[in-house]
Each structure stands twice: as C-alpha cells, then as structure tokens.
Amino acid sequence: MHTRTRRTSLSLLSFALALSLAPLAQAADAQAPAGPKALPGSLMVIPAPAKVDRIDGADYTVTAATPVRAQGQAAQRVATQFATLLRDSGGPAVTVSEGRGKDGIRFILDAALRTGAEGYQLRSDARGATVQAATEAGLFYGAATLSQLLTGGSDGKLPALRIDDAPRFSWRGLMLDSARHFQSLDEIKQVLDAMAEQKLNTFHWHLTDDQGWRMEIKRYPKLTGIGSCRIPAGDGGRDPVTGAERPYCGFYTQDQIREVIAYAAARHIQVIPEIDVPGHATAAIAAYPELGTIDTPLKPLSEWGVFPNLFNTEDSTFEFLENVLEEVIALFPATYVHVGGDEAVKDQWEASARVQARMRELGAGDEMEMQSHIIKRLETFLEQHDRRLIGWDEILEGGLPPEATVMSWRGTEGGLKAASEGHDVVMSPVTDMYMDYLQTNSPNEPPGRPAAIPLARVYGFEPVPDALAKDKQHHILGLQANMFTEHTRSYARLQHNLFPRLAAVAETGWSPRERRDYADFLARLPAQLQRYQAMGIAYAQTPFQVELDSHDDRSAGTATLALSTPLGYDIHYSVDGSAVTAQSPRYTAPLQQPLPVALQAATFFNGQALAKAASRFDVTAASLLSRTDEHLAQCPGDGQLLLRLEDDGPAEGERAIFNVDIFNPCWLWKEADVDGIASVRIRAGRIPYYFQLAHDEPNRRFAPKRGAHGEMDILGGQCDGKPLASVKLPAAPGADGFITLEAALPRSLKGSQNLCVRFTGDTRPTMWVLDEMTLLPR
C-alpha cells in the first residue's frame, strides 16, 4: 500500500489512440475564446432553445404561492415533475392543482399542436407562463426549460418571451459502464435525473465486460454467481488484517433493472442494454468455460485494457447468446439492443484449429467475416423479436446487414462510412465524447484516460460530417457521451467526469447548429452550476480552479507567478493572507513576489465564485527545488503512452496516483537550474503492472538492468547516453510502499540542464514509478 498526501492522476485506451489524442488538449485550448460572453438576449438555459423571442411586458415572479395548473393525467404528471424539478434545482416549492385559470403556470397537452415528438411551446407575460406540447415528452422538456428559467440565480423572475423549441437530434445519449465499476440504483437514478434536466433521452447501459457481468440472467445463474466478482490487483484485493482475498462484486437483479427502466421512462429516457460480443467476454467465459476458445480456465479480470478472450464459434455458443438476448428483450422495451463488437483481438481464433474449421464450414474467408457472421445471426434474431441491433463501428468490418445501426467511436470516419452506405449512425468518437478522459491538465484531476478532452472540445464537436452527402445526413441519429469506468471507483469521481461536460453534450444534441456558441455557453454555465449544487451534483472543480506556473530567481529570492484557468473566467487573488472575493485584485499579468509567498486565487463570473474553495499555493525557495511527477515531462522517444495510474491500495479511500509513460518509464525536468546543486533526491513507489494492450504490449521498452534489481539512472540531454549518476535499486520498497534514493551530480554540471530519471530492468508484474524529484544544494 502506498500513501501520500497529494491527489492527482491518468490511464489508457490503446497505444494508437494515445498517440492520436496527445495534441487534442492543446489544439482545443488554442481554439477556445478568451472567456465567457453572453449573446444578446441569451437565456440562462442549457441547452439553448431553438427559437426565442423577447416580447414587451413585465417580468412574472414565481413563488411558493404561484398556482400551477394542468388538466388530464399526462399533463398533471408533467406538472408534478416540474414542481419537483423546480424545488430540487433551488426554486420554490409550488403546488399543482387541476384547473383552467389564466394566471400562474399552466401545462397543456394538445395533440393537434405541430410541435413534433419532443418539441414544445412556452409563452410568458406579466400574468404567468403557459407550456404546451403535442406529446407528454415535449411537455416535459418545456417544463425543464421553465424550471431552468426560474433557477440558477434568476430569483424566480420570468421575462416576457416566446419559445418554440424542438431537438436537433433524436438520439441524445450517455453510455455508463457498470461492468468495470458498479453503481448503486440511487446513483444511477441521480444520473438519470441530471440527464432529464438537460433533455438527454438515451441511457446506454454497459452491463458486461472482461471485468464483470452485471445483469441477472435466470437461465444462466453463474453469469452473476461467478462472473460478477473479481479479485482486484495487489493490496486492493486483500484484507489488510488477514491477507485473505477481498473480492469486488456487484450485479443488478432483473427487478432492479425493471426499476431503473421505469424510472428512466418516467423521464422520457430509453434504456439501451449492451451485451458484448465476441470480445470483452472474459467474465462470461469464466462463468461458463465451454463458451471460450481456449482450454485455460479464466477469471473475471482485475486488469484494464484490451484482452484476447473471445467467445468461440460453436452453434451452442450462438444459442447461449440468443437465450441471453431473449431475457434481455423481455426486460428492456427499447427498440435497440447493443451487441458491442469492439476490440475483438482475433489471436485465439487464428490459433484455434476448431475455429478455423468452423470458418470453413460457414464460408467465412477470414476472422472479420467470422465476426460478421455472428453479428448477422444476432441481427436476424433481434429482428425476429422486433428489435434492432446496434454495435460499435468495428461491426462494419466484414460486412453488415442494412438494418444494423453503427455507433462510431474510433473517430467519425466509421460513422461517415456507415451513413454513406445507408446505415443509421450514432456519433460517439473517442476524440470528443469520452468522459473518462481528463478534462484539464490540472494535477488535481482524478484518474482517467490519456490526454485531455476539455470542455471546449466537447462543445465544439459536430456530429454531422461536412463530407456526408445531404441525402444521407438523416442517417445521423445523434450523439452520445461514453463513460467507461476502469478508474472511476467512486460515485464522486463519476460525477467529476460527467459534469459539466455532459451539459455541452446536451446542447450539441438539442440546439440548432447555428444557435451553438461556446462563449455564450460559458456565460450560461455558472447558472447551471448553481442548479448542480442545489441538486447535490458534485461537478468537477478542476475546470474552475486556478493553476500556477512559477519561475524563481534564486539569487534575488523572488518568484514570477503566472496564473491561468482552463475556461477563461476572471481570476482574483490575494497574497496577504486575506480570503479571496470578487473584490480582491483581478489577475491581469504575472506577479513578481518575494519569497516566501502564500498565494490564494479563485475564478469568478458576475461576482459568483465558481469553485468550492480558492486555490492555495505556498511558494518557498525550497518548494521551487521540488517537482512531483505531475509537473515533470516525459522523456522523448518513439511510441509514447502517457498514463495516469492509480495505486492498488488501500481497497477503500484515496490512493496514490502516478504519471508514467508506460512504454518508456522516464521523467524529465526540463532546463533545471543546477547551479550550486550537489545531488538529486528521488522518491519512488512501486505499483502493479495491471493492464494489457494486446498487440501494442511489445512496444514497451526497458533499459537493461546492470545489477541484481536494476538501477535508478539520472541522465541529461535527450535522456540517452551514459548516465550522469546511477544508484542501485532495492529488491522491494519500504513498508509504506516507497523508497527514497539520492544521486550525486557531477560538480562540472552548471546552468540549465535537462535532468532525466529512469528505472532499469523489466520488473513486471510490478513497476517503479516516480513520485517526487528534489534538487539538493551544496
């Protein structure tokens, strides 16, 4: 077990994706405007309505005494939901009654209106507001807009206006992975509440994977009896007192699944189940080994990444899948069933004489055609049960039946190809829509995948490629955010990853393309943050925190302090120990300060503080001689894969986090001032090598060890050549999981120098990782 006081993070998808994503954060930040700027007449509503007309007239103020009226069961249901949403978003607690009064708030359901399947009209003047729609779903979305107009700092004041609104896309989704880490029903319900409040209408539920099978199947009880439990890697999988195995388990009964489906349906959200085929199947094969391709017994995996375990190609396995789908169909009323199809590494099929024989029997020319055969068989089965198949874009390879729908995750190219061929498409590219990627470069980010997908990039994503012919654009059903949970152990971490980026997804899915404006969105976002707070949603703090870049002048005893914030809101600061308020000095240029200095800074918009607490930086001469792994670069070289890896223990609570290039574990302090520096002190930890990357795994490089347990080398220049200094590594870390090593630098080293730290030797299944680097003066 490792312990340290600071919190930080990173993780992985695959080598190729990491390389392609490396420049994304910088590109998105470069395109972002300087800060928030509201458009004329903008309403503090997310997503922005399609059409808004301000009209002459006085505001109408809603209080607890305001009458709320609706006639008919459906309209009354929506009115009651409005009252609940208004209260939970920070507004007054109003009461719903039946009646036709012309004052107050009225909800009218009128099938003759031409508002479409999800559209609505909202009218307000000095006497009150009327929401009307042709469908209950449309009326509900009108209620959500009205609730937002009355909260988020509006003090219940409703301006005179006309809104005619309807969504741009019919699929506005969120995928939640409950297979890697498990969420409670209450947690899922809060996510559904937040989705509904922002007019998202599809909940894609990822229920099976290598690490766990989470859905009860009556016909195959071992799927949850065996497949829903794994033993976490390292310390997290052992009882700290007895040393006994400590399994991580969880699944949803069929009654619980019905409860989630009903809860979502009441909020006009369809629930799409996902059963992964033919890959991501380890948990199922562990439960029923006859489903696998190899004879080696398997267990649900405690590692992350891409694995070779595939379902075999026997008719009995097809029957198993169809039997599972029968129970899935009985549970889930949605039209679509997701069958995965992604990351199915074909090594086991290629090596299996039986699979190769089956391919010849079935006329499959290669392994992709074999996968296509499985997909086509499942598509036929689903079609016979009045369902439609949807899968990740790999299902395009080897051929695809015309009725199948493609979810494009490896960029938008697969979606463009599928739509051009006449398939319906949901756009969910890893480059823009993956909520488990980091959202800022802050050291306070929790674990996530490599690189960053900041709010600006999420908001800037356009689901309809310009290259798609106009007569094929209707095949783009919409977009979806994906929340994979390899490193999302807690619900607090899940909320951090989803909010506020999910608000950007919601606006892209609902608002017309011409109504989307990022600077205006940023001006509306603080009102949404107030609603999140009222709803008990712990949105990410990092986009609203202040970051510091400091440079010291050691001889003068001063430091230059440059402040920044990811979203461009105003920064106010103090250096005299006083609390930071909107009246504190506004940051406009780097600060020149004598050392030591206690700097506090916070972001504000219209006088509202956007983070829970001010950022604090205690800068001293000694602190400027130390850098943690988050503040070091990675050494140059081919095939980089920077990860933010979480330690393996403790089983509960916070864990140490380490930044490491898994293919070349080496850390770089660029242009370190080594004048007067005698040595370098390194604090390092050791963590499990608990992930696999299939065909990318051989790309990892290891500097050969020279002694029994390897060395810690200090290098200069481009992190190559003969080490400047070297220290032998011990066989194991200390009782706290760390070691501290000191290496003397050559006295001839002067001025600004690159200093690189690497650990030699292939130490898998564990690896050394740098925690902190300190320059020690003579």
Catalytic residue IDs: 343
**Cα(94)–Cα(72) distance, rounded to whole angstroms?**
19
312 Cβ contact list (under 8 Å, min separation 6)? 291, 292, 293, 352, 354, 355
**Cα(648)–Cα(332) distance, rounded to whole angstroms?**
36
Find how far residue 573's CA is from the centre of its chain. 31
Tell me the residue ranges of DSSP E strands in 210-348: 212-213, 229-230, 248-249, 270-277, 304-306, 336-340
Find how far residue 518's CA is from the centre of its chain. 20
CA nearest to 689, candidates 719, 660, 653: 660
How buried is residue 502: exposed, middle or buried, by Cβ count under 10 Å (0-12/13-18/19+)? buried
Phi, psi at residue 536, to the nearest 5°?
80, 25
Amino acid at 112: A
Asked whether the CA dihedral 315, 316, 321, 324 is positive or negative, the reply is positive
Amino acid at 633: A
DSSP 157: E
Tell me the residue ranges of DSSP E strands in 148-235: 157-158, 161-165, 171-177, 202-206, 208-209, 212-213, 229-230
Amino acid at 693: L
Tell me the residue ranges of DSSP E strands in 402-458: 405-408, 425-427, 437-438, 449-452
Residue with tokens 């890959």: 279
Phi and psi based region of residue 557 (left: phi greater than 0; alpha: psi -120 to 50; beta: remaining): left
Residue with tokens 């978003």: 89
156 Cβ contact list (under 8 Å, min separation 6)? 61, 62, 63, 91, 92, 150
